[in-house]
A and B are shown apart, each in its own frame.
Chain A
Amino acid sequence: QQQVKQSPQSLIVQKGGISIINCAYENTAFDYFPWYQQFPGKGPALLIAIRPDVSEKKEGRFTISFNKSAKQFSLHIMDSQPGDSATYFCAATSNAGGTSYGKLTFGQGTILTVHP
């Protein structure tokens, strides 16, 4: 059962454009939503994360928008650069029972290509 659905599977953006990746979740117990960036041959690296008590979080060119009622969250990459070309994963986890933060549920991933 895929509890976090991510779209699109692939995205092509011109340099300077805005990249938008969307995720939807089912489990209302999720309370921590990170985004990971993965370059070929490397492990995922934490990019930015949000908790459901805020609707938006911005770090540099990267912004997470969070809609708790719709159970959706999205990553916006402003002024996209060729160096941003990578695979992006959304994820979610919850602290139900106090032992669950080791268990990340990932979306399927989005391959972003930024053309110069």
Chain B
Amino acid sequence: NAGVTQTPKFQVLKTGQSMTLQCAQDMNHEYMSWYRQDPGMGLRLIHYSVGAGITDQGEVPNGYNVSRSTTEDFPLRLLSAAPSQTSVYFCASSYRMLSRVGDYGYTFGSGTRLTVV
């Protein structure tokens, strides 16, 4: 049981390049989300999905694209990288309903540290 797996762990991009951050979970969670973490700002939601084929925007969606063709995978695409997208990106997954122990089982990946130069 690997939990939430993110790849790559580190990436340097040039301004204008595109790339895809990969995220996979093996817990059969309905929800998956992408957050970015910047100093002093906590984690901010980029996009999320409540199930395969369903996605929606979060707080900071501009410049990012997502799709969810399977329950397990939720890739994040940077369309044209900008220095403002330099950040640490976290993927997370969770249940839709409370579990028996009273939580939603939010599980985060270990992150992708992205630098755009």
Contact = CB atoms under 8 A, between A and B. Distances in A.
B48 A106 contact: no
Contacts of A103: 33, 45, 48, 58
Interface stretch (A41-49, A62-70, A77-85): A41-49
Given A34-B103, A43-B110, A46-B106, A89 B43 contact: yes
A51 interface: yes
B104 A32 contact: yes
B42 A43 contact: no
Interface in A88-115: 89, 99, 101-109
A55 interface: no
Given A43-B109, A44-B90, A101 B41 contact: no
Nearest to A48: B103
Q: Considering residues B42, B44, B102, which has the most beta carbons from chain A within 10 angstroms of its beta carbon?
A: B42
Contacts of B96: 101
Contacts of B107: 46
A79 to B, nearest CB: 24
Contacts of A45: 108
Contact of B42 (A34, A102, A107): A107
Given A44-B108, A102-B48, A89 B42 contact: yes
B94 interface: yes
Nearest to A90: B42
Contact of A102 (B44, B49, B102, B109): B49
B55 to A, nearest CB: 10
Q: Which of B32, B48, B104 has the most CB of A within 10 A?
A: B104
Contact of A43 (B33, B45, B90): B90
Contact of A9 (B32, B40, B43, B45): B40
A19 interface: no
Interface of A: 4, 6, 9, 32, 34, 36, 41-46, 49, 51, 89, 99, 101-109
Interface of B: 4, 31-33, 35, 40-45, 48-50, 56, 58, 90, 92, 94, 96, 102-104, 106-111
